[in-house]
Amino acid sequence: MNPVYHQAKFINSAPQLSLAPPDEGLEIAFAGRSNAGKSSAINTLTRQKALARISKTPGRTQLLNFFEIEAGKRFVDLPGYGYAKVPIAVRKQWRKMMETYLTDRKALCGIVLVMDIRHPLTEFDWQMIEWCGHSTLPLHILLTKMDKVNYGAAKNTLLKVERELDAVEFPLSLQLFSASKKKGVNEVHRVLDQWFH
């Protein structure tokens, strides 16, 4: 395990890209539907309990949250998408901010897409997958909360999602992950190490 992840620290939350840290170095963004387990994944990967704030209320991450892993290397927690109780005006604002970030951010070197294993490949997930295809950014998908289903069901979902992604014509990787059981952590670290180097 690469020890630098444990030294991660919060830098800032930006309501717009102009308030983000300077666009240099390398950044890996974590995207996903509200409540898919993005914050838990970030906390587990950095071995910290409260680096990324976990909320019982989906849709809490409304800002771009930046975390420094080491000099010139950052994680970015993107606003969770697809949560219906958020007012339409706010959703439009998030969407615009996310699109600007994903299109204009030069430091962005890869995207980790977090999906709840019980609800994979939502319409929003497909939009993110297609976007990664257009921008030729590497994509790694985490099927989170695998501890909520039995291993056989988790494996079946993994194979089903793999089959559905067969048609995607750019390189992506996919794995099972559980934040609470710390399953799949080394596998993610290997992908992150490659992107950061």
CATH number at residue 17: 3.40.50.300
- Whether residue 60 contacts residue 53, with contact meaning beta carbons closer than 8 Å, is answered with yes
155's CB contacts (< 8 A; 6+ apart) are 176
Dump pLDDT digits (tens) for 111-169.
999 999 999 999 889 989 998 888 889 999 999 999 999 999 999 999 999 999 998 88
Give the pLDDT of residue 46. 96
Per-residue pLDDT, averaged over 19-42, amounts to 94
Predicted TM-score (pTM) of this structure: 0.93
More confident residue, 100 or 94: 100
Mean pLDDT of the chain: 89
Closest CA to 120 of 75, 174, 58, 79: 174
Closest CA to 175 of 166, 162, 164, 165: 162
Instruction: pLDDT band for 80, please (50, 70, 90 cuts).
Output: confident
Dump pLDDT digits (tens) for 51-74.
987 655 555 557 899 999 999 999
Give the pLDDT of residue 60. 53
Number of domains in the chain: 1
Query: Other CB atoms closer than 10 Å to residue 60's CB: what's the count?
Result: 17
Q: Which residues pair with 12 in a beta bridge?
A: 66
Give the pLDDT of residue 52. 87
Domain holding 174, by residue range, is 3-196
Instruction: pLDDT band for 92, please (50, 70, 90 cuts).
Output: confident
Integer Cα distance of 78 and 97 in angstroms = 10
Integer Cα distance of 63 and 80 in angstroms = 9
